[in-house]
Amino acid sequence: MSEAVSTDLDAVVVGAGFSGLYMLHRLRDTLGMSALVIETADDVGGTWYWNRYPGARCDSESYFYSFSDRLSEDLLEEWTWTERFAGQPEILRYLQTVAERFDLRRDIRFGTTVTAASWDEDAGRWQVDTDAGDRLTARFLITAVGCLSTTNLPEFPGRDSFRGPTFHTGLWPHEGVDFTGQRVAVIGTGATGVQLIPEVAEQAAHVTVFQRTPNYDIAGGNHPVTPEFDRRIKDEYRAIWARTRDTAFGFPYDVAERTALSVPEDERREIFEEAWAQGGFRLGTTFNDLLLDADANETAAEFLRSKIRERVDDPEVAEMLAPKDHPFFTKRPPLENGYYETYNRENVTLVDARRTPIEEITPTGVRTADGEYEVDAIVYATGFDAMTGTLFRLNITGRDGLGLADKWAGGPRTYLGIASRGFPNLFMLTGPQSPSVLSNMVVSIEQHVDWVADCLRHLREQGVEQIEPVAEAEDGWVAHHDEVTDATLLPRANSWWVGANIPGKHRSLYPYVGGVGVYRGICDDVAAKGYEGFALSGAGATAAV
């Protein structure tokens, strides 16, 4: 850590992943503002710095899981992805290249954690404290902490008694782990488990998988990127990114204008099969009512269950892996590459942790109601305290001593998912009640960063010192967010999207589901109307709008 210093800045940014790096570039190189990024890790990368487990890769296609020409046309032309869905090492190298290209590291303080951030009403500035003893002051505080950055480690009885090594997928050792010849327990079958389990099974003597809730895992169809494909993408990049900004989920393919029950069963099956063969999330674009109508959704759900039954040899295991308690896409559907075939291996055992829950972790393994499974190592693929976990750890305190965690005790209350009343000059990149994890993250990140940068330019040009949502705008956004949510099937599942994986966490849909293009239009309209819904105060401000 660096020596304790006192620094006065235009902006403090927390986090050096995709959003923090782009935000620093816009603040420093576009706006000419003084800015400092605070990052707990020892290098850039955000989630791609920490999540180094075997099989870790993005589930958005690489060519649009990267910055557009708004950052650099030269980098777009020079960088070539090697796989359709890039692995963690390649994504990390990409972000390191971005940091080097724009000389960003000189304004990032690594190995440092924000311990508190409080609004100083008299000074009109944020005071940011770190574990290095720093007291930074800044006019603006911008959180770029990511939606999946605080790990969730369930409090299993006896968890600390296990005598062997334990690992969490979100905090994987940088030197890697050798499971050769070992008996390994993997707890959790969400996205990280789905990626990790096939890799561990190739190495370990035996893998015991503890599954509480099966998911609708979609064929990823990962493959190397050919030179011809790379050239075509680069030639069409502007058009591709224009599409991502206008579609519902930030992918450059549109949802079909038809309902699932409007076509005969055999035709519907053909449509699903074609999307399955293409791989990725195209299955969710086959019909426009899969998230709106339960009967329509069931057609996709049963198609996916049939695919599981086709690929898993043991019918009992196949039924354990086939979800039946929630609609398709109401939990985050992982992309898989050989996951289901893994259960055909003799060295893999699937345990139904809903029928026989984990009772305790023992010194030698995992005990359920059926008995103890002795293992040499345990991997917790148990996910994250999504959306709000890391924000709350920053101990943000706004006007009149109001804590962000206290204000949001009954669920997030934001305006546009980017600001919250009572916290002047605070901007949250991809915060709750914005599209964030229900979209291609990089598309949402660019939109948020660009919107914030344009807002800061406007404030400077108008001589405005402070910006904060008005009560009516915040109430209206929360009501709109809830109305859009209730029109979908998403509340029907106990997913991390609704905070169900964290005991005591308020249950509500945390991301905005109204669509990336719709959301962008709303934000652009707010800006065009002089930042309607915000109170602007200071020398150049006229009144609340």
Where the chain has pLDDT below 70, the residues are 1-6, 539-545
164 closest CA partner among 9, 361, 426, 358: 361
- b/e code 18-29 from CB counts within 10 Å (16+ = b): bbbbbbbbbbbe
120 closest CA partner among 544, 540, 465: 465
pLDDT reported for residue 1: 39
- Tell how far CA 242 is from the center of its chain: 22
Decide if 514 contacts 292 (C-beta within 8 A): no
Rounded distance between C-alpha atoms, residue 148 and residue 413, angstroms:
19
- DSSP-derived letter for residue 175 is T
- b/e code 505-516 from CB counts within 10 Å (16+ = b): beebbbbbbbbb
515 closest CA partner among 276, 327, 285, 333: 285
367 closest CA partner among 187, 511, 150: 187
pLDDT reported for residue 539: 63
354 closest CA partner among 325, 383, 393: 325
Both tokens of residue 494? Answer: 């106990």
Q: Can you tell me which residue has the tokens 């296990």? A: 162
Decide if 440 contacts 420 (C-beta within 8 A): no
The secondary structure of 77-89 as a DSSP string is: HH---SBSS-BHH
CATH superfamily of 6-150+386-537: FAD/NAD(P)-binding domain (3.50.50.60)
pLDDT reported for residue 152: 96
Which regions of the chain carry the CATH code 3.50.50.60?
6-150+386-537
pLDDT reported for residue 285: 95
Residues 6+ apart with CB under 8 A from 519: 416, 434, 435, 447, 512
β-sheet bridge partners, residue 466? 537
